[in-house]
């Protein structure tokens, strides 16, 4: 803090909420108090906060659907929900979690907040487009909530034809419209980040000095821009089939239902990389900061983000191994799917090497990063199992697949999201939170997660199909474990919001660099002023410029 | 050539290509016909992109930005072709 | 390039100009993928049901389609000239060429509407009860694709005409100042040319399959 602040620090500092220090009085949070100064802002930091609030809301709506699912699965019979009701529950869980939580979570909150700060810019390339993205997202969210109230949709988040196009009696067109609208939000976000990274880096910030988080957001944005429009047109085609009886996916009219799956998964497989690439970037930041060491093999880690983004476009057919795709095409997709694990593996090895002989501090962000690495490795290895054509034939559409993707998306992305929240919260809000509670949350999230999802690997391997709520009695024990874990997880996910909110009022002011960590975002006050930097920084050194002891030299 | 002259010349070229694509469809059929019409379409689109959309004046990075999606689309189309052509086999 | 209005977060005009161009090129790339899905469906139909697809294509009016292509190419000419006028600071000339493009754009849409009407009266439209001339299920599929593809294109044309109208009004009322804000014309021009380029592919793919 500045000397001025020291001299004028009020004595009742801890009781008076967010505007005590000199810094807080001129921060972006205080620059304008009215509702319209928030709703018409073009400040990337405020838009990030708007997104944070929205996606948290959707996280809990999707979580409520999950709670219904896990409650129903406590017993082998259909005693909580009807068959239709269960279909609608898992569909709305998937739709909300994928499009209204996972895809925007890290890019639109932490990406928006941090990318300009990390590259030394005053804002993103197109600030008004950024605000428009949020409005479009909210409009789509509104549509989805309307779908929910109107009874939901029962096709699964994947909207497979011919169920969705010809037979479903639910709000398919409305749901498709909601997701279509959400797609525009993604596309505009992606364009903004790509142009920002190319054009707004401060002097001296070469590509080789960019934080790895920026690299991962850039790679994610490439996928957002190239993949999302294919989803858009596919949704238009489903809606057209439903509304006008078009026959593109109807075999009786010469169409091909598998064509739908090709188009859908051409987007949706890269979409899962949209969900995980930013998380991978966050973990790189958390690991470097926790180890107080530069990331090992920076160029390889940066390159691996791009590799995952590119290779991710060549593997979509692995979702269709048993759907009627040609055997030869399946073989090619199987091989390419194995290939995409290589860059992910590179990142994990490099993080491990970074931690080796680092001065590790066991703070909450580190614990979340470790949770990520462990759970992501399990998810990734089981992904390799699924990529093997011969094995997939047996476990496709079982709980094995469900466990695999939850390990990556929940064990991975959600852990990274919480890790990012715990790491950058002091920067965003300007206050420190209780580290003890942070560590406890991380531990209970990890334990609850494993209790919930590990049994599902076993369930799937032993034959429990996915999307069923009536099952053979021998599966019940594992389902009870899973549901118990889900309740632990639910509480563990709620607790951080309590102590983080508490810190907004009662937390100690964070100062510019509370951890401390290396990065341009830590050179500006917490919370940052509206224009980010008093003067645009000039970068002259490598990224993660931590002091590294060389054996025999420093003694 | 001045810029405005270039613009008009490109327009004339495009019209000639349009005439040739129609004429071509009357002569060529099947795979050859498809190649001819797509080839002419790519040429026309290329003229539009290079001159009218200023891609010819841009630095390399922006040229990549302009053409990247076309390359990407070919991934989808290529694998679709592989699937459909190999379904009947084996 | 003479644009001088540099706003935050940019620090120099070249950077701001490049950012706008880059953003638009990427957005149009995204549009390539959007229409690309439809071309994927067209590819499927042509590959798997070649004979019926060709027969369905012959039933369309390639003359009207060809005329529309010429109209659209000429509208692109007008836009290119309007943009050049804007870059040179010739406000009134830019307005005139833009109006020319709007007229041609509306002409395209009218001719398309007339064409749809013709097809409807011939029984080619794939609506139940009105599809008397449709001979095979594949032709039904083909007409579906034709409708969606040309419909999506027409929607983009309507948006384009709206953008052009905005430019005309903006230039007339001097909200848009040329040559300082010529970038606005350039960027809208990019959109219009792109929509033209899409039609350049749609025409042979839909109308000229033999």
**Binning pLDDT at 50, 70 and 90, where does residue C108 land?**
very high
The count of structural domains within chain C is 1
C26, part of any domain: no
Phi, psi of A536, deg, nearest 5: -60, 125
C127, part of any domain: yes
Weakest mean pLDDT among A81-85, A236-240, A517-521, C128-132: C128-132
Other Cβ atoms less than 10 A from the Cβ of A169: the count is 9
Contacts of A191 in chain C (CB under 8 A): 23, 26-27, 30
Per-residue pLDDT at A255: 79
Phi, psi of A108, deg, nearest 5: -80, -20
C-alpha distances out from residue A26 to A454, A502, A531, C9, Å: 48, 22, 10, 19
Is omega for the bond preceding C179 within 30 degrees of 0, making it cis?
yes
Average pLDDT of chain A is 90
Is omega for the bond preceding A527 within 30 degrees of 0, making it cis?
yes
Q: What does the domain layout of chain B look like in residue ranges?
A: 1-57, 59-90
- Range list of β-strands (E), A142-192: none
Chain C CB within 8 Å of residue A200 CB: yes
Per-residue pLDDT at A70: 95
- Fold adopted by A36-523: Cytochrome C Oxidase; Chain A (1.20.210)
Task: Identify the DSSP state of A508.
Answer: P
Rounded to the nearest 10 degrees, how much is the dihedral formed by the CA atoms of C134, C136, C138, C143?
0
* ipTM, two decimals: 0.90
- Which of C33, C44, C48 lies nearest to residue A230, judging by beta carbons? C33
Per the CB < 8 A criterion, the answer to whether A73 and A453 are in contact is: no
| B59 alpha-carbon distance from chain centroid | 21
C7, part of any domain: no
Chain B CB within 8 Å of residue C182 CB: no
C30, part of any domain: no
Q: What is the pLDDT of residues A247-284, one digit of tens each?
A: 788 887 777 888 889 999 999 999 999 999 999 999 99
- Which of A198, A263, A329 lies nearest to residue B83, judging by beta carbons? A329
Q: What does the domain layout of chain A look like in residue ranges?
A: 36-523
Per-residue pLDDT at A476: 94
Per-residue pLDDT at A22: 66
Chain C CB within 8 Å of residue A131 CB: no
Residue tagged 């599809």 (tokens): C131
Residue predicted with more confidence, C173 or A13: C173
- Which of C39, C47, C194 lies nearest to residue B84, judging by beta carbons? C47
In sign, the C-alpha dihedral spanning C64, C66, C69, C70 is negative
| Helix then strand then coil, % of chain A, to nearest 5 | 70, 0, 30
Rg of chain C over all Cα atoms, to the nearest angstrom = 20
Residue tagged 């142009």 (tokens): A195
Per the CB < 8 A criterion, the answer to whether A432 and A508 are in contact is: yes
DSSP string, A206-223: -GGGS-HHHHHHHHHHHH
Average pLDDT over residues C123-140: 80
C87, part of any domain: yes
C15, part of any domain: no
Other Cβ atoms less than 10 A from the Cβ of A552: the count is 6
Give the residue from A97, A438, A114, A412 showing the smallest Cα distance to A279: A412
Residue predicted with more confidence, A358 or A301: A301
Rounded CA gap, C203 and C72, in Å? 11
**Binning pLDDT at 50, 70 and 90, where does residue A460 land?**
very high
Other Cβ atoms less than 10 A from the Cβ of A37: the count is 12
Q: What is the pLDDT of residues A488-510, one digit of tens each?
A: 999 999 999 999 999 998 999 88
Per-residue pLDDT at A165: 81
Q: What is the pLDDT of residues A139-183, one digit of tens each?
A: 999 999 999 888 888 899 998 888 888 887 778 889 999 999 999
Per-residue pLDDT at B11: 94
Contacts of C29 in chain A (CB under 8 A): 225-226
**Binning pLDDT at 50, 70 and 90, where does residue A554 land?**
low
The CATH number of the domain holding residue C177 is 1.20.120.80
Per the CB < 8 A criterion, the answer to whether A321 and A330 are in contact is: yes
C contact chains, 3+ CB pairs < 8 A: A, B
Rounded CA gap, A498 and A508, in Å? 16
């Amino acid at each position: 803090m500045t000397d001025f602040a020291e001299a004028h620090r009020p004595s009742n500092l801890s009781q008076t909420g967010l505007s005590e220090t000199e810094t807080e009085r001129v921060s972006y949070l205080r620059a304008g108090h009215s509702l319209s100064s928030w709703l018409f802002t073009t400040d990337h930091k405020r838009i990030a906060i708007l997104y944070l609030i929205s996606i948290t809301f959707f996280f809990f709506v999707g979580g409520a659907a999950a709670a219904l699912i896990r409650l129903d699965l406590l017993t082998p019979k259909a005693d909580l929900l009807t068959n239709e009701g269960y279909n609608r529950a898992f569909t709305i869980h998937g739709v909300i979690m994928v499009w209204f939580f996972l895809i925007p979570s890290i890019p639109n909150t932490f990406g928006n907040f941090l990318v300009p700060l990390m590259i030394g810019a005053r804002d993103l390339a197109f600030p008004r487009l950024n605000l428009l993205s949020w409005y479009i997202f909210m409009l789509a969210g509104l549509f989805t909530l309307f779908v929910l109230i109107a009874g939901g949709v029962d096709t699964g988040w994947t909207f497979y034809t011919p169920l969705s196009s010809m037979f479903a009696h639910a709000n398919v067109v409305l749901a498709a419209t909601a997701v279509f609208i959400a797609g525009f939000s993604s596309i505009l976000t992606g364009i903004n980040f790509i142009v920002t990274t190319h054009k707004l880096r401060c002097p001296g910030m070469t590509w080789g000095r960019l934080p790895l988080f920026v690299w991962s957001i850039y790679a994610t944005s490439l996928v957002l821009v190239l993949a999302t429009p294919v989803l858009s047109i596919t949704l238009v085609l489903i809606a057209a089939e439903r509304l006008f009886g078009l026959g593109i996916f109807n075999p009786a009219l010469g169409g091909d239902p598998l064509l739908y799956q090709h188009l859908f998964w051409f987007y949706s497989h890269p979409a899962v990389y949209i969900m995980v690439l930013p998380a991978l970037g966050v973990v790189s930041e958390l690991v470097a900061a926790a180890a107080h060491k530069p990331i090992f093999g920076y160029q390889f880690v940066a390159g691996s983000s791009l590799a995952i983004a590119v290779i991710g476009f060549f593997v979509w057919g692995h979702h269709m191994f048993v759907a009627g795709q040609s055997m030869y095409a399946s073989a090619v997709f199987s091989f390419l799917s194995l290939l995409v694990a290589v860059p992910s593996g590179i990142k994990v090895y490099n993080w491990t090497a970074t931690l080796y002989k680092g001065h590790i501090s066991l703070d909450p962000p580190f614990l979340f990063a470790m949770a990520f690495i462990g759970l992501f490795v399990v998810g990734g290895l089981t992904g390799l199992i699924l990529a093997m054509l011969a094995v997939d034939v047996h476990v496709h559409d079982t709980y094995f697949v469900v466990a695999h993707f939850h390990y990556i998306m929940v064990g991975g992305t959600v852990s990274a999201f919480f890790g990012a929240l715990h790491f950058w919260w002091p920067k965003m809000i300007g206050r420190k939170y209780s580290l003890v509670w942070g560590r406890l949350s991380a531990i209970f999230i990890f334990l609850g997660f494993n209790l919930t999802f590990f049994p599902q690997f076993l369930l799937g391997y032993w034959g429990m199909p996915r999307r069923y709520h009536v099952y053979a009695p021998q599966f019940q024990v594992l389902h009870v474990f899973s549901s118990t874990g889900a309740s632990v997880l639910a509480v563990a996910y709620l607790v951080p919001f309590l102590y983080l909110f508490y810190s907004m009022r009662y937390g100690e002011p964070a100062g510019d660099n509370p951890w401390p960590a290396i990065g341009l975002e830590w050179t500006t006050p917490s919370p940052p002023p509206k224009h980010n930097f008093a003067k645009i920084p000039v970068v002259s050194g490598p990224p993660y410029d931590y002091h590294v002891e060389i054996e025999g030299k420093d003694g | 050539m001045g810029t405005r002259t270039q613009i008009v010349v490109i327009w004339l070229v495009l019209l000639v290509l349009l005439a040739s694509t129609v004429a071509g469809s009357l002569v060529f059929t099947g795979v050859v016909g498809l190649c001819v019409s797509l080839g002419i379409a790519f040429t026309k689109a290329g003229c539009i992109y290079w001159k009218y959309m200023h891609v010819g004046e841009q630095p390399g990075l922006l040229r990549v930005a302009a053409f990247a999606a076309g390359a990407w689309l070919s991934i989808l189309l290529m694998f679709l072709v592989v699937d459909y052509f190999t379904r009947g086999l084996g | 390039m003479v644009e001088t209005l540099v706003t935050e977060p940019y620090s120099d005009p070249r950077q701001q100009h490049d950012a706008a161009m880059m953003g638009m090129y990427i957005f149009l790339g995204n549009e390539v993928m959007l229409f690309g899905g439809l071309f994927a469906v067209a590819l499927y139909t042509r590959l798997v049901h070649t004979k019926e697809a060709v027969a369905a294509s012959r039933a369309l009016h390639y003359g009207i389609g060809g005329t529309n292509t010429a109209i659209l190419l000429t509208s692109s000419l007008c836009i290119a000239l309007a943009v050049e006028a804007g870059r040179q600071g010739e406000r009134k000339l830019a307005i005139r060429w833009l109006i020319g493009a709007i007229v041609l754009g509306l002409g395209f849409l009218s001719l398309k509407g007339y064409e749809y009407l013709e097809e409807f009266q011939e029984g080619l439209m794939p609506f139940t009860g009105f599809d008397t001339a449709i001979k095979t299920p594949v032709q039904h599929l083909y007409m579906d694709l034709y409708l969606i593809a040309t419909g999506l294109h027409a929607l983009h044309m309507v948006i384009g005409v709206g953008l052009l109208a905005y430019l005309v009004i903006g230039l007339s009322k001097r909200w848009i100042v040329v040559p300082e804000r010529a970038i606005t014309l350039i960027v809208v021009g990019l959109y219009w040319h792109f929509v033209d380029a899409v039609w350049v592919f749609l025409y042979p793919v839909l109308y000229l399959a033999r």
